[in-house]
Structure 1
Amino acid sequence: MKYLYGLLLSAGILTSAFSQSPFNQTIRGRIIDKESKFPLSDVTVQLLEGTSTGTLTDSLGRYRIANVPLGRRTIRITRIGYKEALLNNIIVDAGRETILDVELEESITELASITVKAQRTGDARNEMAMVSARQFTVDEADRYAGSRGEPARMASNFAGVQGADDSRNDIVIRGNSPSGVLWRVEGITIPNPNHFAIAGTTGGPVSIINNKMLANSDFFTGAFPSEYGNAIAGVFDLRLRNGNNEKHQRMFQFGFLGTEGSLEGPISKKKGSSYFVSYRYANLWLFKKAGIDIGTQAVPSYQDASFRLNFPLKNNAKLALWGFGGTSTIDLLISEQEVSDRNIFGQNDRDQYYTSRMGVVGLTYEKPLSRQSFLKITLAESGNVQDANHDYVFFQYDANGLPVVENNRYKITGKAPILDYRFAEIKTSLAASMNHKFSPRSILKAGLNTDLFSFHFLDSVRVVTTLPNTPAQLGPWEYRWDSRQTALLVQPYVQWRVNLVDRLTLSAGLTSLYFSLNNRSFSPLEPRAGLAWDLPNRQKLSVALGLHSQIQPTYTYFYGNDLHHPTKATSLFNQNVGLTKSWHYVTSYDRLLGRNLRLKLEAYYQKLFNVPVEEQRSSFSILNTGSGFTRVFPGKLVNSGTGRNYGAEATLEKFFSEGYYFLVTGSLFDAKYKGSDGVLRNTDFNGKYAFNAVFAKEFTFRKTSLNVGAKFTAIGGRRYGPVDVAKSQAAQEIIYQSDGRNTLQFPDYRRLDLKVDYKINRNRLTHTIAVDLVNILGTQNILTLSYAPQPDGSFIKQEYQLGFLPVFYYRIDF
């Protein structure tokens, strides 16, 4: 901890060098119509909280409020004929202007009619969503304790979402596999946006996406609108923000997770064009220096960068060139670790060298065609690569078959390569959509999403044969993947929202999904529908249903058996596996209990079918994959499996006011599946319940502010089964008995996080010193079982999650 104290002291000395008086800041932005994106003039933008400061937008929808006091503010936006927008918890700092671009939704009521409900913080940006949707902000990812500034970890606070793996940010939604989550940016689907990504997963230890690049975005947990295809669990729909088009602004941050910086400002003040660039490099060596346990003695290395260039065009059109990407490397060297060292990221019989890369670059064109229509087109190129090499480690064993230990290290007699793979996937994507507003009561959105995949999967392996009291034997090299193919994914959709009568809104849509790899991956029509009824006393009742489908993790289509064996023909087991499908049924109740207090209740049922399971009798199901650092090697798959999830969720949220906020969420659920053996079992993710409580209090002083927040998480433990001792010893890895799969459960997961950040405002400068104390009580939560031969003859080892993890950073905005 002495390093942490030294960093805090250094930051304090640095801030003392800037002793000028704090000053006010500017809030500005642009107000547009939500559906047509047409600029709105004569909109009243008012700063609340005891002041009448306000302004009107000009003919281009622009507004500016100068001399705004620093701190957290509430903004009210009103215009005749439009729903009021109430924005809570807007942070105003000295180091940067606050730019708020807001979309107003047209009201269907006449001026003399009833008062319309305000659009508030947390309401989804997507107007077609009736249930299971929430807008999240960059500030939420920053301020929630334990979130480490990442959208995925921040989302684990929401009802129905689990994130009970300290080493990864996988999102388990309502008992579904994390691989059922779709990540979208600017309308196009992107690869797994995390460092150290493994094929078939959507999570990882550290996000590549810089949250400071994000605008307000949407997160869906079920029954999502028809524009979202190829997902059965949830959707992250991310929006990117533009850089400041009037002033140059800079940010520098140093902390345990990385050193990073960003620049933004105008390219041409006259034309309103802007730029934003950022870069980050990992500082995880600091954890090792400070003696902090991160689950391995290896020091991960990663770096990432992002950019966005925005160019306003004539007639309110605009063009944006954007991109982000990252690379990550880790060497897990069992041959060099001590007996007491932990290794929760790899296997205990080999040295592993792993590299992953991911990147995407896109061009987005937006144009209001009229006051009723809006066009958006995004063209993007993305790619991801995973490259790994494994060397088998030959341990020296004694006469009793136990590994020999010298100086707290296992004695090694040699190493030999046993695995080499490189998975690469390149994708060209086009997303085009058009909104048309027939009237305030009737809005239509139609579009097309296409992805052209290019696959190159190469994998070779040597089988290791181990027998008691004999040296391990290595077989010849065999190929499991050797494929260069292309495939096209096409998803057209249409969605219509109509107000049937005052207070009753219908959203109905159709979509279709076609994947050209085989003739079984076609879903001709998928209906989606939702109905929302605004009740008296600020209440709302909603119902929704939808049919959803998803292709399989792409590498599973090309798995073979000894593809280049001289006496065997090429055999691809799963080229003809079809889509996984799921029906979602959701009902929701919302009520505003006060000006800043909201209660939300949801109940759901999900029916999964056409789930890939093994053709031979087994407990395997694709529904149990998608988390962790390992790939899946199933036998021949058929679409005959099923699953079902149901549950109830509650959210009580107090928006930031009077210096504090809180968010309490709870869910009870049951997630089960059937493999080819026909037995109804718990899924790997059926923890039965999840509970989160987040609270933060801000103390404001004349020149500074102190924010203290806490988060408590309680989640049912992961499922597992009895270990097959003979097979595990032969394979030197944990293999569970198929018949007893998921009949056992690890103890419940518990974690308490505390976050403290101290902000100092100076003349055109904002300093932030923050410490996120993850698992402050050091609770030992079991992660998994691993194969680790011990001197006492046992080989089953309980691997624990990360313990106490202090995440420190110092940031300066200027």
Structure 2
Amino acid sequence: MKTPLLQYPIPTIFNPKVCRHLCLSTYRLVPTHSFYCMKPPYTLLLLCSLSTQLALGQATQTLRGRVVDKESKFPLVGATILVTTADKGIVADTSGTFRLAGVPVGRHTVKVSLVGYKDALLNDIIIDAGREKILDVELEEEIRQLTAVTVQAQRTGEARNEMAVVSARQFSVDETNRYAGSRGEPARMASNFAGVQGADDSRNDIVIRGNSPQGVLWRVDGVSIPNPNHFAIAGTSGGPVSIINNRYLANSDFFTGAFPAEFGNTIAGAFDLKLRNGNNERHEKMLQFGFLGTEAMVEGPLSKKSGASYLATYRYANLWLFSKLGIDIGTQAVPAYQDGFFRLNFPLKKRNGESGGSLALWALGGTSTIDILISQQEVKDRNIFGQNDRDQYYTSRMGAAGLTYTRPLNRQTFLKATLAVSGNAQDANHDYLFLRKDGSGNPLVQNSRYVIDSLRPILDYRFSEVCYALSTYVNHKLSARATIKAGLNTDLYHFKAFDSVRTFVDVNFTRFTPWRTRWNTNEAFALVQPYVSYRNRLTENLTLTAGLNALWFTLNNRSLSPIEPRLGLSWDLPGRQKLSLATGLHSQVQPVYAYFYAEDLNSSTDAAQLANRNMGLTKSWHYVASYQRLLGRNIRVLLETYYQRLFNIPVERERSSFSLVNAGASFSRVFPGPVANTGTGRNYGVELTVEKFFSNNYYFLLTGSLFDAKYKGSDGVLRNTDFNGRYAFNALFAREFAFRRSSLTLGFKYTATGGRWYGPVDERASRLNQEVIFQNEGRNTMQFAPYRRFDLKADYKINRGAIGRRGLTHTVSVDLVNVLGVQNILSLSYAPQPDGSIIKQEYQLGFLPIFLYRIDF
């Protein structure tokens, strides 16, 4: 009987194309993919392997991971993993894991297949010498015998969530690094997708299909988290710099409409972020220095025997470099921030030979501080992050920690539960600048600075919110055709807020009003969201998804949405085409702080002043149709059209143009008067995506959107929303030049969008409130000039490594944002000027070079 030499396929030992003439007669393959030796020339095989490596001079690395069933997460024994671009392959073992050594550094395509399952085709898998590549692959079961059908492969970019049939996309860590101008952030990366546009250069808020950025939901490991950005303002979902570091993310999903039933409390979009585990076999490190921060990351095994692992990161801001180099970041103040993350993962013991699941403890968070001292700035200095008539001291904090339990209960059922606590806080103090006046009554300027007479406190506020969350679901595969998923998301909030302000009695700026308390709250309430989803592949080409979500916000009796139906249908057509339809009812609670705002809590009974406490939910019906076609092997064309009907939007009870659909994309809070849920809105549009996946050393992405977003306030007038740019276009391209041990990638991005809307300014009201107040009648009848930006990006990577020695990867990256220095209008700001004017036109950031150096080892 012939004895197996190694339980790996031939390509893991040597390259047959190079050594075929030496040892072609020494081996044969059998269906079990084992290697059997007829005449075992061990020395010859070793010489073949070494000579191949040395002849090529190619640094290599290990590719490993795990293959599981998509629904039950049960390991798939015998799955074949083939690196098609390197002629290497391997078979998953009894726990679904695989390990393929000696993969050349560079970009590769990986095909994963198993009889009875659809193939998974993973493009643009980057192998570096300094870090092992770990893949977690999920295969979808085929509903008919392989002999009767041609299996269609699932490709990179398709959403991981099997309940999503439209408006969903998977993104990877490599994608967040790839796009010029994205700064490695998920939100800025997503602004390149069709139907999505950035709010402005100074923030990473995203506008999805004309909706307010405050309608975007962030989730980590199934639980919702507060705004994950530094310098975050209550009621927003974005900020100048993300706390989320892409280096600890696994492949995640991004949704722009008609969400599956598990996503509640959002009407605009959702980030469903997945956390990765640290390397459980080898200790790895990363150091990075750049303009946006100095970073360090470590990961490795806690126990090689059990497979437990750790991963930790830390970043500290380097924005003082911008100030030293004279680079414009919109303010002379130097922001300071730091953030970090850790994850400990413990595999659980197997039961009865089945997969044991895991228990993971994780935490992320950050803190940020900025002191904008107008009193120490020159008259010409810009300040797009605050008001121009006061010194401002601001601190924000955000954090989340959780315990995640996952276990395949059997070959059909998977359980996941996350228990988490999160919190965020903002603390601000403002001192108003009283300026000396000249003989004409205008501010006195000496040595290019205003002459300050005195500084007096004008604002003091502290907001804090703590949330205790439980997210759990069970996914059960009823058959090869049908899957059901049922879960519960529960959040218990504790909100504390205090805000005290004083304004001027008249427009002469001589006397203050007494201090007024606008917030003084310490309350607890809950948000409960049960859901159920069902998926059935009616035929090989036709898939139905259906679900129900319910939402109950316990703060008042008007925030209950007992039934929110979701429905989707996907039809695979001949010629690698797909047609999809989806609809759903979605609702969202208002920013928490808005429920407790009052004009003056000191004037009468506090309870009577909380006129907004009974605000109901904002709701929206989504209708989406999608057509997709694959051209050739690597080009995808996607066309989507949608209609959204928004209703129950909070608007002021008195006749006005105010609506909360315009909030959520600035550094200011909203101060609504008594409101009612009588506002409406509607968004519709069409989106086109043409994408070439990375192959033949280049890729491109073209996205275009035509849309219209309008609303009605309490005055009943149909107006443009602030975000109704009407069109958005993005073009991205990158070309990689690969060398023996290094590579150079050059890319660009061009963006063009319609300008923001505004209206005539009410100068008297603006003077009294020290902020821009628009006239009701002409609101959003005027539009800023279109936005244009051109970015360049260059990455140079060097891989160092030798056989049997640990490798190193050096990366130098330069991202030239707005390389042409185009002056795009940002907004109007309240800024008293020497000539007596009070309104100033602010511009977006100009040319912004971002540099980093990273070493992985």
Task: Mark yes or no: TM-score above 0.5.
Answer: yes
The code of the aligned residue for 2:63 comes to I
1:353 match: 393
CA distance in 2, matches of 1:546, 1:467: 50
Deviation >4 Å, runs of 4+? 566-570
CA distance in 2, matches of 1:567, 1:401: 42
> Which of 178, 190, 198 does residue 163 from structure 1 map onto?
198
Could you give the per-residue CA deviations for residues 374-414 of structure 1, whole angstroms, max 9, x where no partner exists?
00000000000000001111011223221110000001000
The code of the aligned residue for 1:801 comes to Q
CA distance in 2, matches of 1:205, 1:327: 13
- Say if 2:199 and 2:665, in contact at 8 Å, map to a contact too: no
Could you give the per-residue CA deviations for residues 119-174 of structure 1, whole angstroms, max 9, x where no partner exists?
00000000000100000000110111000000000000000001040000001000
1:80 and 2:115 aligned: yes
> Which of 634, 648, 660 does residue 622 from structure 1 map onto?
660
1:484 match: 522
1:577 match: 615
CA distance in 2, matches of 1:358, 1:630: 18
Cα 1:568/1:60, change in 2 over 3 Å = closer
1:414 match: 454
- Say if 1:250 and 1:261, in contact at 8 Å, map to a contact too: yes
The code of the aligned residue for 1:669 comes to F
1:62 match: 97
1:129 match: 164
2:74 match: 38
> Which of 383, 395, 420 does residue 380 from structure 1 map onto?
420
- Say if 2:58 and 2:104, in contact at 8 Å, map to a contact too: no
CA distance in 1, matches of 2:496, 2:608: 16
CA distance in 1, matches of 2:388, 2:836: 15
1:563 and 2:606 aligned: no
Report 1 or 2 for greater relative contact order, CA contacts < 8 Å, sequence distance ≥ 6.
1
- Say if 2:507 and 2:764, in contact at 8 Å, map to a contact too: no
Q: Shift in Å at residue 645 of structure 1?
A: 0.1
Could you give the per-residue CA deviations for residues 235-293 of structure 1, whole angstroms, max 9, x where no partner exists?
00000000000000000000000000000000000100100000000000000011100
- Say if 1:109 and 1:116, in contact at 8 Å, map to a contact too: no
2:140 match: 105
Could you give the per-residue CA deviations for residues 782-803 of structure 1, whole angstroms, max 9, x where no partner exists?
0001122223332221100000
- Say if 1:531 and 1:542, in contact at 8 Å, map to a contact too: yes
Cα 1:164/1:627, change in 2 over 3 Å = closer
The code of the aligned residue for 1:401 comes to G
1:368 and 2:368 aligned: no
The code of the aligned residue for 2:601 comes to L
1:737 and 2:780 aligned: no
Give secondary structure in 1 for the equivalent of 2:375: helix
2:49 match: none
Taking structure 1 as the reference length, what is the TM-score of the superposition? 0.96
> Which of 374, 394, 397 does residue 434 from structure 2 map onto?
394
The gaps in structure 1 that reach 5 residues or longer are: 1-19
Cα 1:277/1:21, change in 2 over 3 Å = farther
The gaps in structure 2 that reach 5 residues or longer are: 1-55, 351-355, 802-806
1:29 and 2:65 aligned: yes
More divergent stretch after superposition (568-577 vs 132-141): 568-577
1:805 match: 848
2:24 match: none
- Say if 2:444 and 2:450, in contact at 8 Å, map to a contact too: yes
> Which of 665, 674, 689 does residue 636 from structure 1 map onto?
674
1:750 match: 788
> Which of 825, 831, 836 does residue 793 from structure 1 map onto?
836
Cα 1:730/1:372, change in 2 over 3 Å = same
2:50 match: none
The code of the aligned residue for 1:156 comes to S
The code of the aligned residue for 1:150 comes to E
Could you give the per-residue CA deviations for residues 471-503 of structure 1, whole angstroms, max 9, x where no partner exists?
531221111000111001000000000011220
Give secondary structure in 2 for the equivalent of 1:463: coil
1:216 and 2:251 aligned: yes
CA distance in 1, matches of 2:457, 2:836: 27
CA distance in 1, matches of 2:624, 2:435: 55
> Which of 498, 513, 530 does residue 536 from structure 2 map onto?
498
Cα 1:797/1:351, change in 2 over 3 Å = same
CA distance in 1, matches of 2:599, 2:214: 25
Q: What's the Cα RMSD here?
A: 1.2
Give secondary structure in 2 for the equivalent of 1:296: coil
Q: Shift in Å at residue 569 of structure 1?
A: 6.9
1:425 match: 465
2:32 match: none
1:718 and 2:756 aligned: yes
Give the alignment of 1:626-775 within 5 angstroms.
626-763=664-801, 764-775=807-818
> Which of 369, 379, 385 does residue 329 from structure 1 map onto?
369
1:278 match: 313
CA distance in 1, matches of 2:606, 2:312: 52
- Say if 2:59 and 2:741, in contact at 8 Å, map to a contact too: no
Cα 1:407/1:597, change in 2 over 3 Å = same
CA distance in 1, matches of 2:822, 2:195: 23
- Say if 2:719 and 2:780, in contact at 8 Å, map to a contact too: yes
CA distance in 2, matches of 1:640, 1:467: 34
CA distance in 2, matches of 1:352, 1:510: 46
> Which of 346, 356, 359 does residue 319 from structure 1 map onto?
359
The code of the aligned residue for 2:767 comes to Q
1:204 match: 239
Give the share of equivalent positions with the same residue, in percent. 68
Q: Shift in Å at residue 810 of structure 1?
A: 0.2
Cα 1:21/1:674, change in 2 over 3 Å = same
Could you give the per-residue CA deviations for residues 647-697 of structure 1, whole angstroms, max 9, x where no partner exists?
000000000000000000000000000000000000000000000011000
CA distance in 2, matches of 1:53, 1:410: 70
Taking structure 2 as the reference length, what is the TM-score of the superposition? 0.91
CA distance in 1, matches of 2:96, 2:607: 66
1:17 match: none
